[in-house]
Structure 1
Amino acid sequence: MKTRMSASLALVACLMVTGIGTAAAQDHDRSSDHPHRVCHRVRVQDKPKDKHQIAGTLVGAAAGGLVGNQFGGGKGKVLTTAGGVLAGGYAGKKVQENHQENHATYHYEERCHDVQ
């Protein structure tokens, strides 16, 4: 009888130490009803300072206007200058856009969500 009681006490002690038992199972069931928070570090691309590529557009337009002004005469000179401004502005915008995509900067954020 003493051996059986000692074995029972040893089993109860073992269950208490390992956290296995009815109380632990009930606590586990209760905690699964409540969501818990999971967080991750995420790499996020920074937005460019000049998101509309205004600097590239202006520089391209000025350069295009200078080149266009070298051609034609009279009304033709006005048209080639205007065409140069438009084409240069578009090209400058695209050059800056490409540069911003290829030289992006990043930072890290912690993002969290609840999980059932």
Structure 2
Amino acid sequence: MKKTITSLLAATLLLSGTAFAKTYGPADEGRRFNDGSRVVCKNVEVRRSSKDSNRIIGTTTGAVLGGLLGNQVGKGNGKKAATVGGAVAGGLIGRKVQGDSQAKKGDRVVERQCTRVYR
């Protein structure tokens, strides 16, 4: 019987602690507490209804096009290096272009999120 009461009390305390969890906003940034914890805020990119949130299509398309263009330059090992360099550069450019497009459509937004950090 004691074990059941102790378990119920522990569960009640656990649930009541999470039910009243405090959320913090940018106005709380830098706030310090007696236990040594403080509120830290950072900008976080949040995905919103994006079909390709990891920008795979833009990266792949850019890499293929960059590799094809790089393959047109040089001879021998220089041609191989240009192909690889073109693929890498094309992939980065394609990822950036797709990210900018998603940002314009509102698919990716930056939000300021704040959390309490215990140290």
TM-score (norm. length: structure 2):
0.49
Q: Which has the higher helix share?
A: 1
TM-score by length of 1: 0.50
